[in-house]
Structure 1
């Protein structure tokens, strides 16, 4: 059996909120929630659902039989033609000029003397904007360096090593890469003069010092009784992008919050208040905000988590006959992602890489307080015309560091 590898790189700098729209591929948000549930329960976490979903969707385009059906069901996507069309619309929208820097890129490397099948090559080029290059995987070090250079360039230099040379050998036939890079300034920047060292409480009994950014201004704000949490939405200069922070009311309730959020659509959390009775909905109001500066990095081997969410078949059946023009059986052997996010007074920067080897308005109430001095969940999202929040990045901060 010959091998395919999927690899993902993600880099993010700024705060972003992403939801689903008619311009975005179906399944990204629910897939992200399912994956979050089974990822390692580390102190800090950042990953990009869109990067993983995009790379797996590339593989879906070249799959058949039970493998294709597993992709369709577990990624919650339509048939391959519609999935490809949705990604074309989404990537076209992301590439529009705006006040953020965002780059979602795909790349396919194929073993020398092999070629991509014509239909697959046409689909990934026209819909996923992915180019294919030949490479000699048996020259492991050179091949890894070539691919890591592409990853570094595609993530603004934030991720410079995704593929290890030992991941490759003379049986490797294809590597599918996806990278996303995001950098944006806040619509309302923090004044660095107001940043000071405060306590961050890991629990009621444990705390440490960290740099906290402070400001008072108008933001999207909600108090959600079902989650027992506060929600803050901070926009970037390009108002389609936001960062959403969900903060439990207690220092000790991050696990309970995680258990609830995996069953919650982020678009529901950020919905505008349409009636007085909708007390959990979001309004725009004056908020005293304090959030930590932080920088997170994650390195995730996704084979086991993907198996846990129902995608084990894609590693077993070898039904990828529509990728490479060969009679060999191609088997997906590895899916990895590296992700990065940094938040400061100016905004956010984030990146990720994945690889597969194969508002409302209110009156003038008193200011609310949103003091993120204990563990919280965050999302970076994008919202297009249909008003759905699509998740670009999501993660957990339990111990901020910069």
Structure 2
């Protein structure tokens, strides 16, 4: 089976000196179930806006790069490790990262991601885990400043390994990933992934498991047509929910949106449904230019109940970030050495990838004690308007947010 993580490492190993190797490895997971939380007031922040725009750019390139257009990614995981890496970079190498994340000042970048890491890593691990890890070769020593920033600002643990012992190192990394993702990602690396001359491997895991406060009733799920394109349909198990939801129609991007909040306070999923059956590529392209937050903050109560239908789905994605990041303006990290990482010599990135997973179904439907915040608008002597249909029966986009921060984003096409 083709493995981009392996094929992209080998050519670089052949051209680098031993002192020039750095591996960035990203392992990410999202698992989700549906619900409504208590009423939450959200506020936009400069960090949220910068993560938003960068996330939509990364999604666009991931979508275009993928042969299978079912895509799940966590741009936040990528951005977090880029921010950490930039602590040891300098010059144009660092400037490219600053430009992608929308910062002009490195100290501001570090403060922003340090605060975000502090908030997210302190949450209840039963539903959210954000953690970073550095594996350092026993042949090298981290520079004190880089080590301090990584541990203080990014809560990153450090462990020494012998990369020449490939199987042992891979087993160690996989055990850490499996523990942090509760068994959902168990083998993100293998012996072929490990570069025996690597100086350092950076890892990030984001795990989310939410619950719908008003769950879908599994008994109402039924097989229905899903349009892969204008003329092709397949049968999908469609979940159903009737309720008052936040809603938006935007003719500019050619799509309508609905918000599905989670029981866990501050978390929500946004479903972006193109107006046309073949409209997903155009919607992804437009959101890459403007971000999604503007529309998210324009969502309003629909004014009547929405008859919502959406397929159950599960997506697993592997992303070769060495192909994707240069397309969003970050390339020097792969060709230029960063002098602020290890003491012995500059290092550059030889491999960068992401493994991601998402599952959406009716789980939580048996938790009948959950209650929702339902808003209806009618007078005592009026007849409620008929439900507004929102049938997700064609390729669509989705995003999972915590407050105004995009945690995960993806597309589902078939």
TM range (shorter): 0.7 to 0.9
Task: Note if 1:214 corresponds to 2:240.
Answer: yes
Task: Note if 1:47 corresponds to 2:68.
Answer: no
Query: Residue 150 and residue 21 in structure 1: after superposition, are their counterparts in 2 closer, same or farther (change >3 A)?
Result: farther
Structure with the higher helix share, 1 or 2: 2
Q: Displacement, 1:15?
A: 6.0
Distance 1:145 1:251 in 2: 44
Contact 1:270-1:282 at 8 Å conserved across structures: no
Query: Residue 64 of structure 1 aligns with which residue?
Result: 90
Distance 1:137 1:25 in 2: 37
Query: Residue 53 of structure 2 aligns with which residue?
Result: 30
Task: Note if 1:7 corresponds to 2:25.
Answer: yes
Distance 2:255 2:33 in 1: 19
Aligned match for 1:305, one of 305, 324, 328? 324
Distance 1:4 1:152 in 2: 23
Query: Residue 391 of structure 1 aligns with which residue?
Result: 406
Query: Cα deviations across residues 200-247 of structure 1 (Å, max 9, x unaligned)?
Result: 111231111111100101111111121222201000002310000010
Contact 1:25-1:83 at 8 Å conserved across structures: no
Query: Residue 218 and residue 96 in structure 1: after superposition, are their counterparts in 2 closer, same or farther (change >3 A)?
Result: farther
Distance 1:81 1:9 in 2: 26
For 1:356-367, list aligned pairs within 5 A. Answer: 363-364=377-378, 365-367=385-387
Query: Residue 373 of structure 1 aligns with which residue?
Result: 393
Query: Residue 293 of structure 1 aligns with which residue?
Result: 312
Query: Residue 361 of structure 2 aligns with which residue?
Result: 344
Q: Displacement, 1:257?
A: 1.7
Q: Displacement, 1:140?
A: 1.1
Aligned match for 2:336, one of 317, 322, 344? 317
Point out the structure with max Rg over C-alpha: 2
Query: Cα deviations across residues 44-83 of structure 1 (Å, max 9, x unaligned)?
Result: 0010010111111111111122211222122323433322
Contact 1:216-1:288 at 8 Å conserved across structures: yes
For 1:205-284, list aligned pairs within 5 A. Answer: 205-272=231-298, 281-284=299-302
Contact 1:16-1:382 at 8 Å conserved across structures: no
Contact 2:48-2:405 at 8 Å conserved across structures: no
> How many residue pairs end up in the alignment?
373
- Structure 1 regions of 5+ residues with no counterpart? 273-280, 349-358, 384-388
Query: Residue 88 and residue 26 in structure 1: after superposition, are their counterparts in 2 closer, same or farther (change >3 A)?
Result: farther
Query: Residue 123 and residue 34 in structure 1: after superposition, are their counterparts in 2 closer, same or farther (change >3 A)?
Result: same
Contact 2:74-2:409 at 8 Å conserved across structures: yes
- Alpha-carbon RMSD: 2.4
Query: Cα deviations across residues 11-31 of structure 1 (Å, max 9, x unaligned)?
Result: 1111699x9854957632211
Distance 1:291 1:195 in 2: 9
Structure with the higher strand share, 1 or 2: 1
Distance 1:25 1:251 in 2: 30
SS in 2 for 1:222: strand
Query: Residue 156 and residue 75 in structure 1: after superposition, are their counterparts in 2 closer, same or farther (change >3 A)?
Result: same
- Structure 2 regions of 5+ residues with no counterpart? 1-16, 36-41, 366-372, 379-384
Contact 1:55-1:178 at 8 Å conserved across structures: yes
Distance 1:99 1:369 in 2: 36
Distance 1:360 1:183 in 2: 23
Contact 1:105-1:178 at 8 Å conserved across structures: yes
Q: Displacement, 1:86?
A: 1.4
TM-score where L is the length of structure 2: 0.84
Aligned match for 1:183, one of 209, 213, 216? 209
Distance 1:244 1:390 in 2: 12
